[in-house]
Structure 1
Amino acid sequence: MNTMFTRGPSIVSRLALALVVSVVLIFVDHKYDGFASVKVYLNSLVSPLQYIASLPGQILSSSAEKFSTHKKLLEDNEHLTLQALSMSEKLQQFELLKAENDRLRTLLGSPISAPVQKMVTELMAVDNNPFSLQIIVDKGAINGVYEGQTVLDDKGIVGQIMEVGSTNSRVLLLADITHAIPLRNARNNVQLIANGSGQFNELILEHVAHSADIQVGDLLVSSGLGNIFPEGYPTATITSIVRDESRPFAQVTATPIAQLDRLRYLLLLWPDDAPTQPNLQQTDQSVN
Structure 2
Amino acid sequence: MKPIFVRGISNQLRLTLAVVLSIALMLTNTRLEPVRQSLSSLLSPLQYLANVPGMMMDWSAESLATRHMLEKQNKELLRQQLLMSERLQRFEHLRQENDRLRALLGSPIHMDARKMVAEVMEVASDPYHHYVVLNHGSNSGVFVGQPVVDAFGVVGQVIQVSKLTSRVLLVSDASHGLPVRITRNDVRLVANGTGVLDELELKHVAKSTDIRVGDLLVTSGLGKRFPEGYPVARVTAVIRDDGQSYARVMARPLAALDRIRYVLLIWPDDAKKLGNTTESDKTPATETDNKTEVKS
In the alignment, structure 1 segments of 5+ residues that lack a partner are: none
Could you tell me whether the CA contact under 8 Å between 1:134 and 1:171 is conserved in 2?
yes
Q: 2:75 aligns with which of 58, 75, 78?
A: 78
Give the TM-score of the pair, scaled to structure 1. 0.91
How far did residue 272 of structure 1 move?
A: 1.4
How far did residue 42 of structure 1 move?
A: 0.9
Matching residue of 1:203: 200
Tell me, in whole angstroms, the C-alpha distance in 2 between the residues paired with 1:183 and 1:53. Answer: 37
Matching residue of 2:291: 284
CA RMSD of aligned residues (A): 2.0
Could you tell me whether the CA contact under 8 Å between 1:270 and 1:277 is conserved in 2?
no
State how 1:85-100 maps to structure 2 within 5 Å.
Answer: 85-100=82-97
State how 1:153-168 maps to structure 2 within 5 Å.
Answer: 153-168=150-165
Matching residue of 2:142: 145
Tell me, in whole angstroms, the C-alpha distance in 2 between the residues paired with 1:284 and 1:153. Answer: 18
Tell me, in whole angstroms, the C-alpha distance in 2 between the residues paired with 1:135 and 1:16. Answer: 37
Q: Structure 2 counterpart of 1:215, which letter? A: R
Matching residue of 2:171: 174
Tell me, in whole angstroms, the C-alpha distance in 1 between the residues paired with 2:15 and 2:67. Answer: 62
How far did residue 128 of structure 1 move?
A: 1.0
Tell me, in whole angstroms, the C-alpha distance in 1 between the residues paired with 2:71 and 2:288. Answer: 34
Q: 2:124 aligns with which of 123, 127, 130?
A: 127
Q: 2:133 aligns with which of 125, 131, 136?
A: 136
How far did residue 129 of structure 1 move?
A: 1.0
Matching residue of 2:216: 219
Q: Structure 2 counterpart of 1:284, which letter? A: K
The yes-or-no answer on 1:25 pairing with 2:22 is no
SS at match of 1:260: coil
Q: Structure 2 counterpart of 1:273, which letter? A: D
SS at match of 1:177: coil
Q: In terms of mean alpha carbon deviation, does 75-84 or 277-286 score higher?
A: 277-286
Matched length: 280
Q: Structure 1 counterpart of 2:225, which letter? A: I
How far did residue 10 of structure 1 move?
A: 3.9
Give deviations 1:134-175, integer Å, cap 9, x for gaps.
110001000110111000011000000000001000000000
Could you tell me whether the CA contact under 8 Å between 2:117 and 2:262 is conserved in 1?
yes
Change (3 A) 1:11 1:128: farther
Q: Structure 1 counterpart of 2:64, which letter? A: F
The yes-or-no answer on 1:69 pairing with 2:76 is no
In the alignment, structure 2 segments of 5+ residues that lack a partner are: 273-277
Q: In terms of mean alpha carbon deviation, does 132-141 or 267-276 score higher?
A: 267-276
SS at match of 2:31: coil
Q: Percentage identity across aligned positions?
A: 47
